[in-house]
Amino acid sequence: MKDSSQKKLRNKFIKSGVKMIGPETIFFSKDTKIGKKVTIEPYVVIGSKVKIGNNVIIKSFSHLESCKIENKVEIGPYARIRPNTILKEGSKVGNFVEIKKSTLGNKSKVNHLSYVGDAQIGKSVNIGAGTITCNYDGANKNKTNIKDKVFIGSNSSLVAPVTINKDSIVGAGSVITKNVRKKSLALTRSPQLEVKNYKRKKK
């Protein structure tokens, strides 16, 4: 897209009340739709088919395409929101998070260093740092279903197809391959070993 058409788009959004920090570094598409009281930080790229609601904050170095962002959502910095993603009201996507073909429920958070693909995530879910949905088995894409008020501990791998039921907890460092019942704790972890008075080998 020519620089002059980007200028027109930036001016259009500034006039409609979008707060831009460093507008010359922000790129829009012709079909971008943005609501009221939206703030966009520098170096944000918005691809085609993006709809953004009201009271949204998009932080620096984020990339959005073919997605729907509802009201009161916070994105980034360094977030990648890929096609067919819906971020529901009050949800939060933090730094170095990639979301693809997924719905993130109301007030749910994926704050850092995570990949979420082909997932349905309910309300008030907390997904810990380094969590990934293992959605591709080499031939097919499979779905992860996380119900309301689930807590996923850091560095967990959720091997799809899998369902994590309401009010349950996945302990940090777990590899989950089976469905988790509601109100339960799922944990897969090797026992910690300790060798007393261990002497390191010398060169």
Q: Which helix (H) or strand (E) holds 157?
A: strand 157-159
**Which secondary-structure segment (H or E) carries 6?**
helix 3-15
Residue from 10, 109, 112, 149 carrying the catalytic annotation: 112
63 is a catalytic site residue: no
Torsion of CA 151, 153, 156, 162, to 10 degrees: -20
Please name which of 171, 173, 164, 127 lies closest in space to residue 146, comparing C-alpha atoms.
Answer: 164
Q: How many CB atoms lie within 10 A of CB 156?
A: 25
Whether the Cβ atoms of residue 150 and residue 133 lie closer than 8 Å to each other: no
The residues, any chain, with a CB within 8 Å of residue 162's CB and separated by 6 or more, are: 144, 145, 176, 177, 178, 179, 180
Give me the active site residues, please. 112
